[in-house]
Chain A
Amino acid sequence: MALETLLTRISDSKVVKAFRSRVRRPDVDKDKASTALLLTPYVALFSLFIVIPVVAAIGLSFTYFNGIQTPAVAKMFGLYNYVMILTQDEVFLRYVLPNTLKYAIITGPGGYALSFLMAWMLSQIQAKPRKWIALALYTPSMLGGVLIGVIFRTLFSGDKSGYINAVLLDMGLINVPTDFLQSGDYLMQIMIFVTLWSSMGIGFLSMLAGILNINKEMYEAAYIDGIKNRMQEIFYITIPSMKPQMLFGAVMAIVGAFNAGGIGVALSGSNPTPQYAGQLIVNHIDDYGFIRYEMGYAAALSVILLVVILLFSRVAYALFGERD
């Protein structure tokens, strides 16, 4: 008995424990080193090209910086850029802000709703035709800005060789060709149309997969419990069963809506866009950053954009996120 206690005491003692852990170390160390090695490239690249730019944008937004001299803290305790944007920047307040909100609110939720609706309808038909129709719906989203620019500049071309103009002339709706893409009246509408047209992207595929994977017994049970029609089916079964995909789709829709900001410039061929009709915050940032070299000011605009995106995504998380 005494011997046993003694042995336990020895094996519990600090010296032995330390020795033991040292004996085991090579293995653990090796695994740790291996994990570190696996993570290093991504973490390094992620930090360099995503984290640091975001942090730097926040930092620069409080400075005056023209790209050549070292950044100097801006007036008004560094808040000068923000104050200017929100009180003095007429283009921002009169065109960029309303344009961006209008564009983002229609193409973000609109594109998202459209994606869900298409995915849901596709889930109601057989696999073979589904595959080809899904491909047709997805195709516009893989074209990329340059090609979309080519397509719609050709279609909406301002002279009578432009297809849309020719059709409208033929139908007698207009008498002279309209230069749609250079017109302050039409550019925004065309941008919204083109963006919605190309909005069935990766989020759409995610939601389609989500709907197809819902367990059919869920529906059976729901009908036994008294669900009566497809509308109830969607709201009580389909959407709640695929919340994670709904959230992924929502995040992709938000990012897509703000990323597609270059479309106005791609269509009209100029920044600023004609009469600022298609000027979005992304173009405004480019205008100040790369055309006027007021980089502190551009950084402040970037920060505002990032905050807006974050707010939008908070809404998405509140709707579809899983609460613990």
Chain B
Amino acid sequence: MSNFLGTQIAPKSFHPSQLKFYALLVPISVFMILPLVYVIGQAFKPLSELFLFPPRFIVSNPTLDNFARLFRTASGTGVPMTRYLFNSLVVTSITIFATLLITLMTGYALSKKKFKLKKALFQINQTALMFVATAVAIPRYLVVTGLGMTNSFAAHVIPYLAMPVGLFLVKQFIDQVPDELIEAAKIDGANDWHILTKIVGPLVKPALATVAILSFQMIWNSTESSNIYVIDETKKTFAFYMNTLTSSSAGPAGAGIAAAAGLLMFLPNLAIFIFMQSNVMDTMSHSGIK
């Protein structure tokens, strides 16, 4: 069987026949990160290079000037940039922690418990995978107002805790945990809380890591809550500040600061993803919708 190609899926070793894939994939992946490379260069360019014509792709005399200027800038109302950064850090960590807890609890119940409407709940959640939050921004705003959360930190957190994709992934992953393990723990007298924290939680770490990443990306990059729910400038987030900064500061000098701010926003994203990439791939093996 000379033309048997199938075993080349996930090959263990190099074979010349793989060259054609490299020939396509390497240029494409370089192309994908080029825009990002440009902005990174931009962030380290001194003013003279930002005004340079024709513009150079790569920075020749890198400096931290743009970052220094970024840290010195303050919004029109005098709120310093570090305040927004602090807000974002607080909001993001609380949201991730709470999302993980809630998702784990619900995923466990949906996977291992018997109760009425179990199937219906899972179906509804699966339909909600298609939920586009921006489409119903207005009624959501009314709910947030009705609950008296406007202009508080809670408005950055609470509306985003129920995450259908997260629950879906965690539930699929918990399905892989054998029932016998949980039965045995029950016989030993463990209650649900123990089972969750001592058995299920540690076993589904990859899924939790994935949910943490998705939740991080959603909250860290989001401007919605700062735009709509929060009026007080001191309670708004970094993504929002960056957005106003970049859309108001025109010209090459502003572009340098914007690039620096963009880089600051992107680095945590990248670090977390690289750190947890294998966990994500593990989770994704169970991500299918049946």
- The 9 A-B pairs of least Cβ separation, nearest first, read A244-B288, A219-B6, A144-B221, A209-B284, A136-B29, A56-B139, A45-B162, A42-B106, A53-B139
Q: Do the beta carbons of A38 and B106 come within 8 Å of each other? A: yes
A35 and B113 in contact (CB under 8 A), knowing A139-B33, A151-B35, A210-B288? yes
Q: Which of A224-239 contact B (CB under 8 A)?
A: 228-230, 233, 237
Any chain B CB within 8 A of the CB of A269?
A: yes
A53 and B102 in contact (CB under 8 A), knowing A45-B161, A149-B246, A258-B132? no
- Taken residue by residue from 108 to 150, chain A's Cβ proximity to chain B (1 for < 8 Å, 0 otherwise) reads as 0000000000100111111101011101111110111111011
Taking the closest CB of chain A, its distance from the CB of B3, in whole angstroms, is 7
Select from chain A the residue with minimum beta-carbon distance to B108: A38
Q: How large is the interface on B (under 10, 10 to 19, 20 to 34, 35 or more residues)?
A: 35 or more
A247 and B288 in contact (CB under 8 A), knowing A144-B217, A223-B4, A302-B135? yes
- Taken residue by residue from 27 to 49, chain B's Cβ proximity to chain A (1 for < 8 Å, 0 otherwise) reads as 01110110110110010000000
Query: Hey, which chain A residues are within 8 Å of B132, CB to CB?
Result: 255, 258-259, 282, 305-306, 309
Q: Do the beta carbons of B11 and A150 come within 8 Å of each other? A: no
- Taken residue by residue from 64 to 106, chain A's Cβ proximity to chain B (1 for < 8 Å, 0 otherwise) reads as 0000000000000000000000000000000000000000000
- Taken residue by residue from 9 to 30, chain A's Cβ proximity to chain B (1 for < 8 Å, 0 otherwise) reads as 0000000000000000000000
A35 and B9 in contact (CB under 8 A), knowing A50-B162, A145-B221, A153-B246? no
Any chain A CB within 8 A of the CB of B231?
A: no
Any chain A CB within 8 A of the CB of B109?
A: yes
Q: Which of B163-188 contact A (CB under 8 A)?
A: 164-165, 167
Any chain B CB within 8 A of the CB of A275?
A: no
A255 and B139 in contact (CB under 8 A), knowing A136-B30, A166-B55? no
Q: CA of A302 to CA of B134 in the docked complex: distance in angstroms?
A: 9
- Taken residue by residue from 207 to 219, chain A's Cβ proximity to chain B (1 for < 8 Å, 0 otherwise) reads as 0111111101011
Q: Do the beta carbons of B143 and A147 come within 8 Å of each other? A: no
Select from chain B the residue with minimum beta-carbon distance to A321: B289
Q: Do the beta carbons of A124 and B54 come within 8 Å of each other? A: no
Residues of B within 8 A of A (CB): 1, 3-14, 18, 21-22, 24-26, 28-30, 32-33, 35-36, 38-39, 42, 50-55, 57, 102-103, 105-106, 108-109, 113, 115, 121, 124-125, 128-140, 142-143, 147, 158-162, 164-165, 167, 191-192, 214, 217, 220-223, 228, 239, 242-243, 246-247, 252, 255, 258-259, 261-262, 265-266, 269-270, 273-274, 277, 280-282, 284-285, 287-290
Q: CA of A24 to CA of B250 in the docked complex: distance in angstroms?
A: 72
Any chain B CB within 8 A of the CB of A174?
A: no
Q: Do the beta carbons of A38 and B134 come within 8 Å of each other? A: no
Select from chain A the residue with minimum beta-carbon distance to B115: A35
Instruction: Tally A residues with Cβ within 8 Å of B.
Output: 115
Q: Do the beta carbons of B273 and A42 come within 8 Å of each other? A: no
Query: Hey, which chain A residues are within 8 Å of B22, CB to CB?
Result: 125, 129
Q: Do the beta carbons of B135 and A147 come within 8 Å of each other? A: no
Q: 14 A-B contacts, Cβ less than 8 Å apart?
A: A50-B162, A60-B138, A118-B25, A139-B33, A150-B259, A154-B38, A163-B55, A200-B32, A209-B287, A229-B3, A244-B289, A248-B287, A262-B134, A298-B138
Which of B21, B26, B273, B282 interacts with A138 by CB under 8 Å?
B273
Q: Do the beta carbons of B51 and A161 come within 8 Å of each other? A: yes
Any chain B CB within 8 A of the CB of A179?
A: no
Taking the closest CB of chain B, its distance from the CB of A155, in whole angstroms, is 6
Select from chain B the residue with minimum beta-carbon distance to A149: B246
Query: Hey, which chain A residues are within 8 Å of B5, CB to CB?
Result: 219, 223, 229-230, 233
